[in-house]
């Protein structure tokens, strides 16, 4: 039938309008496909990797060699010792492990298992320093051959320190070496490192037994290991955001399609009535007009799926390199592709059906006379608007009449603001957190963690160094822990401030970080119930002050009170803060950190790519939504525009009357979007870190607000320029000709 060609002719005539709707559908399908397929790929390979290569259930470090057989018999867990040593040379830290046979087995890529004189490098360090297989690397003046790349199940997110936020492969790498080479290169290893695998019925008994017999220095369960849980956390966050993000775009597309269908029908009353009078049935006409959503759905969904699928591979490769995950299996999740195809169809066909439903209730006479069009063309009569001058009054009336689409425009700007602010704030918050934590609060350049708690008479501290003590505690009733530090009362290395920038004195009372207080819902004066990870002793401490630290689950009190409360001698300590590098025996040092600020700041630059993508998506969404809705208004008011031109009104005045209300919608959307961005970011961060030992505040900065506004305002101006060009093409002569016809 010839009437089947009507939809394609109309879409060709209003190409940009329908193309914009198709692009919105394509972006929705692309977003879902991109994240769902890439995250499924990562998830499948991650689960396969940790299963096949036996990821640990935890690890612990002791100062003495343990009796593995005794522990296995008593607690029923599998144990394996890894030789462990850390080397710092030329600003680069290498963490060296022996190769495991049973737990945390390495996956070897682009090479072979090392023999004596050979090493494996982690993939990020290998790439950052442009190594190749069979290149040489010098460690403590001895050359080793790089035999390949090694992935470790317990070092998926390769960070040097537990408190680090981002990896830094330029300054930190993991090296795997044979046990023989390690014993030759490091004859006196200061600590003993053990991985365990198996379910423990009473983990507290396990820790206490180890501590009482072999002096436990560190104990980390899998659920507390940032090198493992950060990967799972980021995967869950990506999965959590995929469906809502796609659904929002689809709903906006569907609503705009509904408006477009209504406009098409309102301009084709007479034509449709004529089709009825020619003998076509309602079913015939309905089928023809349902081709609009059909064409939009098929074109947009297929285009989006193709774009998303082909972009999923580079995205999954980016995540894989970011997390240092090997690719063990190719994944093609058909179920997600089906959802990406079917999801837009549901909403788009419903919107098309609803747009047609009321129209087909009219009689043929009403269709021919265009009753609905006459009703639709009336401007609302509201006395409040009459107090304004003519142009403003018309602008307000048009805004009121098209309130649903103004609402959609505002919601679109809100969503774009949230998306862009999230990207901008993520990077700003990390940089600010680093600057404030490691420059304003933490004044030291070097941090040394020693292998025992004692008075350390062999160490002579200068005025550039301070001792500290630290213990890790479980928080009762929560799957969280807190690190409490004992520091000098007049410490020059750590300065704590409240939210009004007043310095908090170090005393015998507990001061905790703001992210931890927010996570636990604690206020000054509240009590916190904790239990030592090593001794199982329980303590109840009162929160004296909340320090305005942006990162960390930490608490602070003076060293003397710390030792008294937790059972140490008056002058004992386990670590040193220092502004200069100390000459300490390797036998004394368990871990040492240096130049934390520069390291993490350099890594923060890697977020730029992600932020640019988020900003681009937000800008495209805003452009399409504003353009389509504004174009709809121009198309519906062509007659009024033509009449106003004949009356002598200039284009600027006409544009203000027809589309001036969009300015208020844009501003309202942005103003509402800023606080909603903060709420959204806090909710995402709290959900992501609810049960892990990490806390961070994402504070909305003035810079991120202005940057977001500048980008969105530029997009808004561009879309308005395109619409104004379309309005300029409306000629009074054409309107008169249409009236005559």
Q: Which residues contact 19 (CB under 8 A, 6 or more apart)?
A: none
Q: Are 627 and 254 in contact (CB under 8 A)?
A: no
Nearest to 505 by CA among 520, 487, 523, 522: 487
Nearest to 522 by CA among 534, 505, 536, 540: 540
Q: Are 485 and 468 in contact (CB under 8 A)?
A: yes
94 forms beta bridges with 87, 173
Max CA pair span of the chain: 106
Which helix (H) or strand (E) element contains residue 359?
none
Report pLDDT for 427.
59
Q: Are 549 and 441 in contact (CB under 8 A)?
A: yes
What's the CA gap between 202 and 531, in Å, rounded?
A: 14
Report pLDDT for 375.
44
Classify strands 84-89 and 58-62 as parallel, antiparallel or unpaired: unpaired
The SS3 of residue 182 is helix
Report pLDDT for 374.
40
What's the CA gap between 228 and 736, in Å, rounded?
A: 71
Give the relative orientation of helices 334-357 and 226-266 as an angle to the nearest 10 degrees.
30
pLDDT in tens, 291-329: 888 998 999 999 999 988 888 888 788 777 777 889 888
Nearest to 324 by CA among 170, 134, 165, 159: 159
pTM of the model: 0.71
**In the structure encoding, which two tokens stand for residue 596, read together?**
């934390």
What's the CA gap between 128 and 158, in Å, rounded?
A: 13
Q: What mean pLDDT is reported for the chain?
A: 81
What's the CA gap between 231 and 489, in Å, rounded?
A: 38
95 forms beta bridges with 86, 174
Q: Which residues contact 643 (CB under 8 A, 6 or more apart)?
A: 732, 735
Scanning the structure block, which residue is given the tokens 């207080």? Answer: 517
Q: Are 691 and 426 in contact (CB under 8 A)?
A: no
Q: How far is CA 122 from CA 95, 148, 315, 374, 682, in A?
A: 10, 9, 20, 72, 34
What's the CA gap between 108 and 126, in Å, rounded?
A: 13
What's the CA gap between 243 and 549, in Å, rounded?
A: 34
What's the CA gap between 169 and 89, in Å, rounded?
A: 14
Cα–Cα–Cα angle for 324, 328, 334, rounded to 5 degrees: 110
3-state secondary structure string across 618-661 = HHHHHHHHHHHHHHHHHHHCHHHHHHHHHCCCCHHHHHHHHHCH
What's the CA gap between 80 and 83, in Å, rounded?
A: 10
CA 271 to chain centre: 51
Scanning the structure block, which residue is given the tokens 């469906």? Answer: 243
**In the structure encoding, which two tokens stand for residue 599, read together?**
């390291």
**In the structure encoding, which two tokens stand for residue 707, read together?**
């940057």
Nearest to 235 by CA among 449, 86, 38, 5: 38
Q: For 401, which DSSP code?
A: H
End-to-end Cα distance, the chain: 25
Q: Are 421 and 677 in contact (CB under 8 A)?
A: yes
What's the CA gap between 18 and 12, in Å, rounded?
A: 8
Report pLDDT for 642.
79
Q: For 300, which DSSP code?
A: H
Segments making up each domain of the chain, as ranges: 1-63+230-356, 73-229, 382-441+596-741, 446-594
Q: Are 34 and 315 in contact (CB under 8 A)?
A: yes
Q: Are 192 and 63 in contact (CB under 8 A)?
A: yes
**In the structure encoding, which two tokens stand for residue 409, read together?**
């425009």
CB-CB neighbours of 676 under 10 Å? 16
Q: Please report which residue ranges of 324-445 form alpha helices under DSSP H.
A: 334-357, 364-369, 371-376, 390-401, 403-435
Which helix (H) or strand (E) element contains residue 230?
helix 226-266
Query: How many Cα neighbours within 13 Å face the side chain of 309?
Result: 16
Q: Are 66 and 60 in contact (CB under 8 A)?
A: no
Residues of the chain with pLDDT under 50: 371-378, 599, 603-607, 740-741
3-state secondary structure string across 597-620 = HHHHHHHHCCHHHHHHHHHHHHHH
148 forms beta bridges with 120
Torsion over CA: 644, 646, 652, 655 (sign): positive
**In the structure encoding, which two tokens stand for residue 622, read together?**
């805003």
What's the CA gap between 209 and 71, in Å, rounded?
A: 9
Q: Is 117 left (phi over 0), alpha (psi -120 to 50) or beta?
A: left
Q: Which residues contact 10 (CB under 8 A, 6 or more apart)?
A: 264, 292
The SS3 of residue 223 is helix
């Amino acid at each position: 039938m010839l009437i089947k060609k009507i939809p394609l002719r109309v879409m060709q005539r209003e190409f940009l309008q329908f193309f914009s709707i198709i692009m919105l559908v394509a972006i929705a399908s692309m977003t879902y496909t991109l994240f769902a397929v890439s995250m499924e790929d990562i998830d499948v390979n991650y689960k396969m990797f940790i299963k096949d290569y036996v990821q640990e259930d935890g690890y612990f470090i002791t100062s003495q060699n343990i009796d593995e057989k005794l522990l296995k018999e008593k607690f029923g867990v599998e144990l394996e010792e890894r030789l462990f040593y850390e080397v710092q040379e030329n600003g680069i830290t290498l963490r060296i492990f022996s190769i495991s046979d049973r737990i945390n087995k390495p996956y070897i890529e682009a090479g072979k298992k090392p023999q004596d004189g050979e090493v494996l490098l982690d993939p990020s360090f290998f790439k950052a320093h442009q190594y190749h297989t069979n290149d040489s690397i010098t460690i403590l003046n001895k050359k080793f051959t790089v035999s390949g790349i090694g992935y470790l199940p317990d070092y998926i997110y390769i960070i040097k320190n537990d408190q680090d936020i981002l990896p830094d492969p330029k300054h930190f790498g993991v090296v795997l070496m044979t046990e023989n080479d390690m014993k030759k290169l490091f004859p006196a290893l200061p600590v003993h490192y053990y991985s365990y695998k198996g379910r423990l019925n009473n983990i507290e008994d396990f820790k206490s037994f180890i501590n009482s017999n072999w002096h436990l220095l560190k104990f980390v369960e899998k659920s507390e290991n940032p090198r493992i849980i950060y990967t799972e956390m980021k995967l869950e966050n990506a999965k959590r955001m995929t469906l809502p993000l796609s659904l929002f775009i689809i709903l906006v597309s569907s609503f705009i399609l509904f408006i477009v269908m209504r406009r098409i029908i309102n301009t084709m009353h007479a034509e449709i009535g004529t089709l009825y009078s020619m003998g076509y049935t309602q079913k015939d006409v309905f089928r023809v007009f349902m081709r609009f959503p059909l064409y939009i759905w098929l074109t947009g969904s297929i285009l989006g799926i193709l774009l998303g699928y082909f972009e999923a591979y580079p995205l999954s490769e980016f995540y894989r390199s970011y997390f240092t995950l090997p690719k063990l299996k190719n994944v093609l999740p058909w179920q997600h592709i089906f959802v990406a195809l079917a999801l837009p169809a549901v909403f788009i066909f419903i919107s098309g059906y609803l747009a047609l439903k009321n129209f087909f209730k009219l009689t043929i006479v009403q269709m021919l006379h265009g009753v609905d069009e006459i009703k639709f063309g009336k401007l609302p009569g509201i006395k409040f608007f009459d107090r304004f001058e003519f142009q403003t009054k018309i602008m307000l009336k048009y805004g009121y009449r098209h309130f649903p689409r103004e609402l959609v425009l505002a919601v679109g700007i809100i969503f774009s603001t949230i998306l862009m602010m999230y990207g901008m704030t993520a990077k700003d918050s990390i940089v600010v957190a680093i600057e404030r934590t490691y420059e304003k609060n933490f004044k030291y350049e070097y941090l040394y963690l020693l292998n025992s708690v004692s008075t350390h008479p062999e160490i002579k501290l200068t005025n550039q160094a301070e001792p500290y003590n630290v213990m890790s505690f479980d928080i009762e009733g929560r799957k969280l822990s807190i690190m409490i530090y004992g520091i000098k009362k007049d410490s020059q290395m750590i300065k704590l401030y409240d939210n009004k920038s007043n310095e908090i004195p170090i005393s015998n009372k507990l001061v905790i970080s703001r992210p931890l207080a927010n996570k636990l819902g604690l206020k000054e004066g509240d009590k916190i119930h904790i239990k030592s990870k090593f001794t199982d002793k329980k303590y109840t401490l009162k929160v004296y002050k909340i320090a305005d630290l942006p990162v960390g689950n930490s608490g602070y009190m003076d060293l003397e009170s710390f030792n008294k409360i937790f059972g140490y001698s008056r002058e004992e300590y386990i670590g040193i803060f220092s502004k200069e590098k100390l000459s300490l025996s390797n036998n004394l040092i368990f871990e040492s950190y240096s130049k934390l600020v520069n390291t993490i700041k350099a890594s923060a630059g890697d977020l730029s790519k992600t932020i640019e993508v988020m900003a681009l998506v937000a800008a495209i969404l805003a452009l399409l939504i504003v353009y389509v809705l504004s174009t709809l208004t121009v198309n519906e008011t062509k007659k009024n525009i033509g009449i106003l031109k004949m009356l002598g009104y200039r284009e600027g005045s006409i544009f203000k009357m027809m589309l001036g209300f969009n300015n208020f919608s844009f501003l309202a959307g942005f103003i509402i979007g800023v606080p909603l961005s903060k709420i959204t970011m806090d909710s995402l961060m709290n959900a992501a870190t609810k049960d892990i030992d990490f806390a961070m505040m994402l504070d909305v900065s003035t810079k991120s607000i202005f940057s977001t506004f500048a980008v969105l305002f530029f997009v808004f101006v561009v879309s308005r320029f395109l619409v104004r060009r379309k309005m300029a093409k409306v000629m009074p002569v054409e309107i008169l000709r249409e009236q005559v016809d």
